[in-house]
Amino acid sequence: MHYLVFITVVDGRLDLLRDYERHAREVMRRHGGDVVAVFRPPNAPEQGPHEVHVLRFADARGFAAFRADLPRTAGQAAFLESLQFLELEEVPLDAYFAAD
């Protein structure tokens, strides 16, 4: 299972995001997930997103457990303006580009 995460931070505080993501990755790994890639728009709009992460989990249960276990108290994640998750379904490239 793959997920896209759209992250927008308050006042461009990407430094705080780094520390938070290090902890989040440990939590993710406990639940069978990991970060596959991190992308940052070179000219991110002020309203974000400021980063996009690709996550991989063995199954939806692991992802749900990660989300439930991820600390979101105001003090720990006050710099996050928004955090949006989008579940992805892989499309095999051979089938995608095959002629009809």
**How many helices and strands (H and E) does the chain possess?**
4, 4
36 found inside a domain: yes
Model's pTM, two decimal places? Answer: 0.82
Domain that residue 43 falls in = 2-90
80 found inside a domain: yes
pLDDT in tens, the chain (100 residues): 999 999 988 887 788 888 888 888 999 999 999 999 999 988 877 778 889 999 999 999 999 999 888 766 445 567 788 888 999 998 899 988 987 6
98 found inside a domain: no
44 found inside a domain: yes
Burial 7-33 (b: 16+ CB within 10 A, else e): bbbeeeeeebbeebbeebeebbeebbb
96 found inside a domain: no
CATH code, domain carrying 29: 3.30.70.100
Residue 14 C-beta-side C-alpha neighbours within 13 Å: 12
What is the per-residue pLDDT for 52? 94
Tokens standing for residue 87:
């579940």
What is the per-residue pLDDT for 47? 78
100 found inside a domain: no
What is the per-residue pLDDT for 74? 45
